[in-house]
Amino acid sequence: MHASYEERVELSRDVLHWGAETFGDRLTVASSMGDEVLVHLVGTTVPGADVFFLDTGYHFAETLGTRDAYQAMLPLRIRTILPLLTVAQQDERHGARLHDRDPNACCAMRKVEPLNRALSTHDAWVTGMRRVDAPTRTDIGLVGWDAARAMVKLNPIAAWTDEDVDRYVEEHGVFLNPLRQEGYASIGCAPCTRPVAEGEDPRAGRWAGKDKTECGLHT
């Protein structure tokens, strides 16, 4: 028997409670501020939780504004993690628009390295990954093991459908990144993200025209 929407939400909260009780301050939450439902769920389930945001230097102004809004609205400790190089320094060392020429290298420097640094002092982390996000995510569990980083990985909304997300947003009045109203279904760095057409795969707007579907944070 398939779980109901209410049961999926309750299970998500149970996962977060378990993580907070098991790991305490060694638990942290990763947010791109394009996963608004996760941020709201965490803030209303485990107040005071540690949340980190990777500021790549290429984010939309709307995404930075969403981070600031959630910092003001919810009882969360939101930390901003920066890459080792500014965009200007990266351009000087590797040439301008590395994200066009070698997006994997750009993601490695501006996302993966800062992520690993942010996680280095923790034993478990929470993500907003869902099975319906992409073909590469269809088998993710609510709780798993991040072998690359030797830590526990919690995906509390892994089983949520798009309809679940919409219903939760409506029921709780969740503040959404304004880019949602402009057709951005999956929000990343500005140079590598475009709006998607109705019926198009939500992640089709990420790295459009390139043989790339993941930034490397979860692979």
* Among the listed residues 111, 113, 141, the one whose alpha carbon sits nearest the alpha carbon of residue 206: 111
What whole-number distance in Å separates Cα of residue 114 and Cα of residue 84?
8
| Active-site residue, 107 included | no
Q: What residues contact 14, with CB distance under 8 A and at least 6 apart?
A: none
Nearest to 196 by CA among 212, 211, 210, 179: 179
- Whether the per-residue pLDDT at 219 is higher than 60: the answer is no
pTM score, whole prediction:
0.89
Active-site hit among 106, 189, 192, 215: 215
Which string of b and e fits 165-202 if b means at least 16 CB within 10 Å? beebbeeeebebbebeeeebbbbbbbebbeebeeeeee
| Burial (Cβ within 10 Å: 0-12, 13-18, ≥19) of residue 83 | buried
Domains of the chain with bracketed CATH = 5-205 (3.40.50.620)
The pLDDT tens digits for 43-99 are: 999 999 999 999 999 999 999 999 999 999 999 999 999 999 999 999 999 999 999
- H/E segment holding residue 81: strand 77-81
- pLDDT surpassing 60 at residue 213: no
